[in-house]
Structure 1
Amino acid sequence: MSSHVGGRTALIAAVAIVVAIGLGAGGLLLGFLLTLVGGVVLTLIGIEVTPSLGIVLSLVFVQGVGCAGVALAYVQVQPEIRPVLRERLGVPIDATRFSIGASVPNLREALVVAGGYVLAFAGALAGAFAITAYQALSGTSLETGTNQAAQIGMENPEVLLLLIPASILLIGPGEELLFRGVVQGRLREVFSPVTAIVATSVVFAGLHWFALTGGSATGNLVSIGVLIVPSLVFGASYEYTGNVVVPALIHGVYNATLFTLLYVTIAYADAIPGGIAMAAAAF
């Protein structure tokens, strides 16, 4: 009897993992595919897809439709799908409705936003400077890739001025709805808070591998490792407050800061330490 119960528990955990990762990766993949299709359609009708227009398409389809859209759709269809899936798998039917906590932050949550932003940014910078110091002391060189949005921004600085507000209005909310609201929320139903936060952070950071251009496998892995630090902060803030607006704001302001620093780096190249460029490479 106990082995049967243990088997059902393992099955429930496995389903949670598959669903969580599938939703996270699927949301991003859907957004990228729609962005590609949108670019092709615009080209066919004679509209040039400039870097700025390409970023707009990506923001609308990846963060808007892919991330936020998939997250909100899951909240709506989960009550219909979950009982059917559990019945077919032979596990107890749980009619609990999945939800994502979202509200205007109160004073305590606003303080969490401020503290989380400082921790996320300080952690990313510390990681970037540690890597720079290691390379200088060891005499080795890590070829780290560059985030595609950052690469476009470096080649077309005006795009960065679009990405700064978009980070707060679209990127932070869209990605946090999907990854903290749905992926972490789904894992949290089965696993402990620490496990859910760490697993979601690893998945979130790992999927950014596909957004990197250039760099060696080792260098890109290091860049992804730097991103895990702010990801943990995003996840912990959601677990602590139960309000997805909190990590969305931390994430949005964090990204906006990196885009701002990248813009300033381009405008005042001689005045900005090289380590900041590495921090900006792993959004």
Structure 2
Amino acid sequence: MPSVSSDPTSLDRPDDVAPSRSPRAVLRAVAVAILLATVGIVVGVALVGGAVLALTTAGVRVTPVLGLVLSLALATGVGFGGVALAYLRYRGSGLDYVGLGVPSVREVAYVVGGYVASFALLIAASVVLTATGTEAAPNTVAEVGMRNPEVLLLLIPASFLLIGPGEELLYRGVVQNRLGEALPAPAAIVLASLIFASIHFFSLAGAPRARLVSISVLVLPTLVFGTMYELTDNIAVPALIHGAYNATLFSLLYLTLRFASGGTNQFPEAAALLPA
């Protein structure tokens, strides 16, 4: 995976040079990764809060649906993506650091394989949760969609245009890459996945224990996203897998709400496991 030195003023390190794995380098990489994830959340919240304040001041009522739209556009798209791009600028790196290109035929195969693997893990986790009677926390985005099914039709394209690209650019392209400068690839993938899943604590509803259950499940598809990125060095690959994964769940939730008897009771596990 593309890598650069921990010195933001230095040139990119050649691919055949091993990353520094001294304790100091590892601690610095982990600290930077957590800081980037935190800054992404803070910037996103600030942007949404500012937009809500501006709209309220202008006399516009901010409904849950409008709030969701603002969150997707400002927090996920502008916030996460902006923080990632700002970090790349600080490092003196371009998009070549994250690897961005039109997927090749081989990479399309990885997208399909990653998509299937993500859902296989989701199904396995759902079976375990159901068999053990373990409660998972519902995702607030899915809850808004349950109350307003029409917004799910917006979330489907948003999964490809905003959620997948914005989150993958920050958490795989920047966070995972930064960790990979000081850690072996498997460790970087796992740690980046844990950081990414952990940020969803505040986007979940319910008791802390139920939220932790959902977070532990969210790690599973995220590990797939990170692995496919490591195998392809193309950020478009995990972005497409992530987008397709979310879009499929939003589509299934919409179809369930519209056409299945029992409505929201037919699809609770999937709604709780959205890594949005």
Q: TM-score, normalised by structure 1?
A: 0.85
Q: Note the C-alpha offset of 1:98.
A: 8.0
Residue 66 of structure 2 aligns with which residue?
A: 53
2:124 match = 126
Superposition pairs of residues 71-150 of structure 1, within 5 angstroms: 71-79=84-92, 99-135=97-133, 142-150=134-142
Partner residue of 2:198?
Answer: 206
Determine the structure 2 residue equivalent to 1:33. Answer: 46
Judged with a 3 Å threshold, the aligned counterparts in structure 2 of structure 1 residues 164 and 98 are, in CA distance, closer, same or farther, namely: closer
The percentage of counterpart residues that share the same residue type is 50
Work out whether 1:186 is the aligned partner of 2:199. no
Which runs of no fewer than 5 residues in structure 1 stay unpaired? 1-7, 81-96, 136-141
The structure with the largest helix share of the pair is 1
Aligned to 2:13: none
Q: Distance in 2 between matches of 1:275 and 1:107?
A: 37
SS of the aligned residue for 2:136 comes to coil
Aligned to 1:224: 215
Contact 1:125–1:276 (Cα < 8 Å) also in 2: no
C-alpha contact 1:117 1:253 (8 A) present in aligned 2: yes
**Per-residue deviation, 1:26:** 1.3
Which whole-Å CA distance do the structure 1 matches of 2:215 and 2:268 have between them? 14
Give the root-mean-square deviation of aligned CA atoms: 2.2
For residues 56-105 of structure 1, what are the alpha-carbon distances to aligned partners after superposition, in whole Å with 9 as ceiling and x for unaligned?
2111211112111111111111139xxxxxxxxxxxxxxxx981101000
**In 2, Cα distance between the equivalents of 1:242 and 1:254?**
20
Q: Is contact 1:163–1:259 with CA below 8 Å preserved after alignment?
A: yes
CA contact (8 A) 2:129 2:135 kept: no
| CA separation of 1:197 and 1:104: change in aligned 2, threshold 3 A | same
How much does 1:274 deviate? 5.7
CA distance in 1, matches of 2:241, 2:86: 24
Per the TM alignment, residue 219 of structure 1 is displaced from its structure 2 partner at its CA by 2.0
- CA–CA separation in structure 1 for the residues paired with 2:265 and 2:182: 42
Distance 1:176 1:57 in 2: 19
Supply the distance in 2 between the matched residues of 1:157 and 1:281 (Cα, whole angstroms): 16
State the Cα distance separating 1:271 from its structure 2 match.
7.1
Equivalent AA in structure 1 for residue 214 of structure 2: S
The aligned residue for residue 248 of structure 1 is 239
Larger Rg computed on CA atoms: 1
Does structure 1 conserve the Cα–Cα contact (< 8 Å) formed by 2:48 and 2:71?
A: yes
| Alpha-carbon shift at residue 256 of structure 1 (Å) | 0.5
Give 1:149 deviation, angstroms.
Answer: 0.7
Question: In the alignment, residue 45 of structure 1 is paired with which amino acid?
Answer: A
State TM-score, norm by structure 2.
0.87
